[in-house]
Amino acid sequence: MDGVASSDAIVIKPNSPELLAYVLMTVSSDAFVAAASQGMKEGSKMPRADWKQLLRYCVVLPDAEILSAFNKVLNPILAQLKTLCFSIRNLSATRDMLLPRLMNNSKKEN
């Protein structure tokens, strides 16, 4: 999705939309996270992943048929995750707006 990232984030975009789920699952894998952790640099506040280290991570690309089957399974799951993330954000904002009103009303009743 479109957006703006801070300098603390590494934005990784697939070369084509068909690779989105594959890239997301790759960078979410334990193996990738472990490889990224090995090359951490000390930042001013916290360790940071080293982009050059991440570029050396080898990924085997599946053929078109396997990638298509993978996307058939993963794309609906990713769409639901996106919907749920937005729902959680909206519900949290609603809670944050309504909770002070509820607390004020309960104080008035006591």
User: Tell me, what's the pLDDT at 17?
Assistant: 92
In this prediction the pTM is 0.71
Enclosing domain of residue 9? 1-61
Tell me: the pLDDT tens digits for 45-81?
677 777 888 888 999 999 999 999 999 999 999 999 9
Q: State whether 89 and 56 are in the same domain.
A: no
User: Tell me, what's the pLDDT at 82?
Assistant: 93
Q: State whether 35 and 74 are in the same domain.
A: no
Q: State whether 50 and 75 are in the same domain.
A: no
User: Tell me, what's the pLDDT at 43?
Assistant: 60
Q: State whether 49 and 97 are in the same domain.
A: no
The torsion angles phi and psi of 37, rounded to 5 degrees, stand at -70, -30
Q: State whether 56 and 75 are in the same domain.
A: no
Lowest mean pLDDT among 9-13, 26-30, 57-61: 9-13
Cα atoms in the Cβ-side hemisphere of radius 13 Å centred on 62 = 14
Q: State whether 4 and 52 are in the same domain.
A: yes
Count the domains in the chain.
2
Quick one: which H or E segment has residue 70? helix 64-109
Q: State whether 5 and 48 are in the same domain.
A: yes
